[in-house]
Structure 1
């Protein structure tokens, strides 16, 4: 059975229009291979535990990382294309939303339409069983890498797999770390065994998930159809100072409030978990009202108390970053 899928993986139906794809992908479109590699990574990390592949943020992020490492940012990747067109390979089966089965016969190129008509996809049961076993999974991974990518590019693909594995492991480690004693600073080399991308991705995943994609300050929550979120993971004590990715040294913040927090224009009362607004934000300017109205509002907190921001970290921010006094002169 493994040999059967090795043959199928080595003969994917991909775009090979002359001049469209370079030598790094052996002159073929890499979409299907990146999607299959991403699925293997998520199965290996226990993020896909049943024979159902959902087009969610983790899958999109992993696909995007493969694309960025190999193709760069100049050429845009679209995960919807392989997710839909993989059905031509025979082992991939789209699952339509009830009543929308006929829509699967028409090409789907946008994530909006994908969400309208498709729940996800399943693999052949035999293939899924192989992918849950590390040895056949690694064998099929090698087929993809050696068939569709040049020798110079192959190490990058192995690196992406390692980064993905480490990022999930790091997220789990951070959640475990949140149950111990909080430290204002960690040793600079505490996480040196991790790729920088694994550390930043793992921290972001832990924080954004804990706050349910919600800004802790304004409570805005926007998740686009392709899984993009309006918030990012902010360190309370900058990592350059603390080397501390403990979730209790983090907040999920939207772009405006991330900037305002880093600039000391807003802070958090470490006792009451209430937002405080710097007196630098003068009350006589209408344009500053969106920040001024935050004064005294409760901070949005994770459900689990162990993930609440550390009061020591908030106190450090209040003392070292927050602008608690009006300067003598303003520009």
Structure 2
């Protein structure tokens, strides 16, 4: 039974156009799963969602501004994970997607009852469903922040699933760190311990979860700090090969000045000879879909 529900989660249909991201569906579903609580043996409760709202589309990286954030409210019913009823308890799908019409009818959305019933029956299903949502829609550097925002702490089974995913990425990570000679492409951080690189990641420019390839021309060697800031849209890549820093980022401490603000306009470290730099298509995707414009002027 778990396989059936996980297959639906993994096949969640997202709006897309020319590589644009629309994370509203997975975010709403993640929020609902975070609110799921068993209340007694054989019983459970998940929150209902009234009045489609832009708040459900809040994310730590930029979403598609032209896509209506209320769309997941009715459209999740097409994925077999969501039920929507009006104030009388009748199926609200015939009401369509108009926000005003749904509100007037007292429309309420909640997890599909069979899915909700399956969660307490299988203690590993919740963790597996959340992990599937995160892996299919967001880079790993954002997972912790998204879980914290939802107030969700996963069981040890989630850690085991995550560890398996990390093992699959070993070859790609090793190749990127070789290309960038074990250094952060933005700040030059290059620490080692006992012959091993520490605090350095292989970062996808065009997110793997959104179709980005495991290739050197879609990667950067980044320290853990700048990897997270890169995936949050604080740091970006300019056309001229320099680092961009968002004007929306605020940091008044010396550490923020030294580690983030001073990077504005600084040259990006290139990979060693024989390895490609970031392809324009991948850089452009990150600028359009993730970076929080406008960019700061050079210090």
TM-score by length of 1: 0.38
Give the structure with the larger helix fraction.
Answer: 1
Point out the structure with max Rg over C-alpha: 1
Higher relative contact order (CA 8 A, sep 6+): 2
TM-score by length of 2: 0.41
